[in-house]
Structure 1
Amino acid sequence: MIDGLRVLALVPARGGSKGVPRKNIRDLGGKPLIAWTIEAALASRYIDDVVLSSDDAEIIETAVAWGASAPFVRPAELATDSADSLSVVRHALRALPTTYDVLVLLQPTSPLRSTADIDGAIGTCLQAGAAACVSICEVEKSPFWMMEVQGNGRLSRLLADKPLPTRRQDAPPSYTLNGAVYVARCSDLLAGNGFLGDDTVPWIMPKERSFDIDTEFDLKYLRFYLSEGQNG
């Protein structure tokens, strides 16, 4: 709880995954991938409950073993490749018997996000009086030098409406969503709003905590990254 507001952490983890089969319960550093997110959420100063949204019995069993609660099973129609995360969020809010004021969406595919990132995003959102807060990280390559291919086969700058900086170091910092933390007021989410809008504020995270596992290569690389850190 923060400022008298009840906070729910929702961990979405469906069973089907084409990019990384069974990714949510795959081993990472000696524990299931989903355990990293659950542990970080349980250590939060502000989160009241950590709830899993899943359609898969094995994922549910694993998440509960690591401390999350699973009071419902996600409907099959919300566990497809085409199901959007906001529909999953709204289903969870309506399915739970308890009413919450703030929701924090924590995807298991961002295992290195810390408890400090979670609490920082929650605090930033409420202190700013914003509708939402999302985590971002700075991109290595500025979009000022990114191109797109036109229908005629010619190149054009993606940001053609903005002047090209003379030097790369003169380009303003640019950021991308890293998928680690999404915070919003439950009333706004139930009203049909999302996490991104004119009243969204950022929580900036470093690259080393912004890993997002989408492929087998991502998982293998992160395993290597963690093993190198443990070996000094």
Structure 2
Amino acid sequence: MIRLCTICARGGSKGVKNKNIRYLLGRPLIAHTILQAKATNLFAEIAVSSDSDEILAIARQWGVDYLIKRPDELATDTAAKIPVIQHCVVETERLTQKAYDTIVDLDATSPLRLPEDIVAAVNLLEKKNVSNVITGMPARRSPYFNLVELDECGVARLAKKLDRSVTRRQDAPKCYDMNASIYVWKRGALLTKAAIFNDDTQLYVMPEERSIDIDSELDFAFVEFLAHKGRQP
């Protein structure tokens, strides 16, 4: 298997200013993901995609193999994630003259994952021979028990109903929150199906303490706390 790791990091951020290069434990945030990818020894190449020259320069300093400049149309607030990954893959293949079997995209804003999580997610895809693998954690709220939505009259109702009543959250069907940490695709599924959810999509479950995706200052504070705690003997 020839595997490519992509790390897609847009410049700027509304929730956390310059979060992809903000320092965590003395390193730019994106460096943690680069080092995790390297530690797996899975990848023929690691490519970073960004519209930011500063992010690309930092990625070079931390030893990525290819720097992919993202076009403006893929760097807007509304740009979807999959076209960005596809662009990174196609450009890297053009530069390397390789066709990769497995593509792994790691989100730079999820720095608490372990290299073992990446390895396990890739093994799940390749052993099951499925289109893709996503990662998630056990959900804090259940749509069958304590997650509500408002109907057209503004009345609060359970998001999902069963044909039986659920009096304890533990009795509801298991649900998971996607944690935006690791996405694994077969090359063909990524470049042709271009979907997060396919008929055979598998889930790799991670614990909550390794699943925080930084979207706000509060998220960053949680990550800093857990990262420092993890360094303690």
Q: Contact between 2:110 and 2:212, CA under 8 Å: does it hold in 1? A: yes
1-side partners of 2:157 and 2:99: how far apart? Answer: 50
Q: Contact between 2:103 and 2:186, CA under 8 Å: does it hold in 1? A: yes
Q: 1:24: which partner in 2?
A: 20
Q: 1:183: which partner in 2?
A: 184
Q: Contact between 2:45 and 2:66, CA under 8 Å: does it hold in 1? A: no
Q: Is the counterpart of residue 85 in structure 1 residue 81 in structure 2? A: yes
Give 4+ residue runs of structure 1 displaced > 6 Å after superposition.
none
Unaligned segments of structure 2, at least 5 residues: none
Q: Is the counterpart of residue 58 in structure 1 residue 54 in structure 2? A: yes
Q: Contact between 2:132 and 2:189, CA under 8 Å: does it hold in 1? A: no
The TM-score normalised by the length of structure 2 is: 0.92
Unaligned segments of structure 1, at least 5 residues: none
Q: Contact between 2:144 and 2:162, CA under 8 Å: does it hold in 1? A: no
Q: 1:135: which partner in 2?
A: 135
> How many residues are paired up?
228
Report the RMSD for the aligned CA atoms in angstroms.
1.5
Amino-acid identity (%):
37
The 1:229–1:114 alpha-carbon spacing in structure 2 relative to 1, beyond 3 Å, is closer
Measured against aligned partners, the alpha-carbon deviations of 1:80-101 in whole angstroms (never above 9, x if no partner) come to 1111111111111221223211
Q: Contact between 1:55 and 1:79, CA under 8 Å: does it hold in 2? A: yes
The 1:221–1:25 alpha-carbon spacing in structure 2 relative to 1, beyond 3 Å, is same
2-side partners of 1:49 and 1:23: how far apart? Answer: 24
The 1:162–1:69 alpha-carbon spacing in structure 2 relative to 1, beyond 3 Å, is farther
Instruction: Please say which of residues 37-46 and 219-228 is displaced more in the overlay.
Output: 219-228
Instruction: Please say which of residues 113-122 and 64-73 is displaced more in the overlay.
Output: 64-73
2-side partners of 1:225 and 1:188: how far apart? Answer: 35
1-side partners of 2:40 and 2:163: how far apart? Answer: 41
Q: 2:120: which partner in 1?
A: 120
